[in-house]
Amino acid sequence: MEALSLRRQLAATLFLLGSIHMNAATKMTSADFGTTPEGATARIYTLTNKNGLEARITNYGGIVVSLKTPDRNGAMADVVLGFDALAGYISSPSPYLGALIGRYGNRIGHARFTLDGVEYKLAANNGENSLHGGTHGFNQKLWTARELPDGGLELTYLSKDGEEGYPGNLKAVVDYHLTDSNELRIDYSATTDKDTVLNLTNHSYFNLKGQGQGDILGHLVMLNAKQYTPVDAGLIPTGELRAVSGTPFDFSRSIAIGTRIEQNDDQLKLGKGYDHNWVLNRSGKALSLAARVVEPSTGRVMEVSTTEPGVQFYTGNFLDGTIKGKGGKAYQQRYGFCLETQHFPDSPNKPKFPSTVLKPGQQFYSTTVFKFLK
């Protein structure tokens, strides 16, 4: 009698556990992804939603390794650039394929900034400037992963006081969700124990035809912005907010990336194409549309929404075919584009730009959603 009721209880518990799992928005599985230079094991997490979209994310650098979405006929393709194995990300970190970027996304001029009267020196890893968090940014760290009960993946990284020259112990938590509305949602949060600066983003390169399937020049792009931040020769913003109207930087109406990219324009020459920060039109801090991208041959559409004030639209100008990515595809110039939602580059040295300072007791939050339609 007792054994029977125990067995019943066990069966009921198993049923409950099973149904919780079935009700979860996203299915998640995980596997080993390789060994880091420090000898730790990186994992890869596969998130699948009810429509069959699939995102594979590793806790090494929080990298989005692959992202499969349907075309207008339902055929799936992997729409992000990356490597098949961890070794590729370790040997070629600098294009930042798919990675989480921190502590400071994009550039800080002269690799230094002053905060509360103290000057902090950073690694100059991009000419005389600091790019994407320095020599060993968050893209090269092994994050602590936790599978959330709702099917999301939580990644946590503690960046020590002084790491890459930045002040304060910073705890960064990044949650990835693949929703049943076909969104890859990234929620960033952070706290610090000393005043510091912070600019977190994701550096996925998209090609909505499918990764390795040629260049991105035919993609139609709309950027929800009236202004951008022009740059100097080192790609550091000059401080000016310049109107896009009447320039090749006007994407307020959808236009193919390639239409004006080779125009005789000083800013395009400096970036070797588009590699600039657009000042997003926004009212308040809510999640709002930053960009819409349409790939006419496949019918894939991607909408990017964010709580951030800016977006770096980068057209893969520095890719040159030397990197062999997934399936052995050579990533040539302009084979992918990035929409890196962010605070403006060099904000720590530009008092008029929205502040990137985080203080003890404050909680930093930021959300970016990549939504796939067809």
Please identify every residue annotated as catalytic: 203, 340
DSSP calls for 44-87? EEEEE-TT--EEEEESBTT-EEEEEEE-TTS-EEE-B---SSHH
- Choosing from 312, 341, 347, 368, the residue that interacts with ligand GLA (CB under 6 A) is 312
- Choosing from 163, 275, 295, 346, the residue that interacts with ligand GLA (CB under 6 A) is 275
In the complex with ligand GLA, which residue's Cβ is closer, 40 or 330? 330
In the complex with ligand GLA, which residue's Cβ is closer, 58 or 129? 129
Structure tokens belonging to residue 343? 């605070």
Q: How many Cβ atoms from other residues are within 10 Å of residue 343's Cβ?
A: 24
Q: Provide, rounded to whole angstroms, the least separation between the CB of residue 367 and ligand GLA.
A: 20
Q: Is residue 95 close enough to count as binding ligand GLA by CB under 6 A?
A: yes
- Choosing from 318, 349, 357, 374, the residue that interacts with ligand GLA (CB under 6 A) is 318
Q: Which residues have C-beta within 8 Å of that of residue 117, sequence separation ≥ 6?
A: none
- Choosing from 45, 314, 344, 364, the residue that interacts with ligand GLA (CB under 6 A) is 314
Chain residue whose CB lies nearest ligand GLA: 314
Interface of this chain with ligand GLA, residues 127 to 166, rule: CB under 6 A = 131
Stretch that binds ligand GLA, among 61-69, 178-186, 296-304, 312-320 (CB under 6 A): 312-320
Angle at alpha carbon of residue 164, lines to 160 and 169, rounded to 5°:
20
CB 139 within 8 A of CB 63: yes
Q: Is residue 235 close enough to count as binding ligand GLA by CB under 6 A?
A: yes
Pairing of strands 76-78, 64-70: antiparallel
SS3 content of the chain, % helix, strand, coil (to 5): 15, 40, 45
Q: Provide, rounded to whole angstroms, the least separation between the CB of residue 104 and ligand GLA.
A: 12
Q: Provide, rounded to whole angstroms, the least separation between the CB of residue 231 and ligand GLA.
A: 9
Supply φ then ψ for residue 178, to 5 degrees: -110, 105
Q: Under the rule (CB under 6 A), what is the footprint of ligand GLA?
A: 95-96, 106, 131, 235, 275, 312, 314, 318, 338, 340
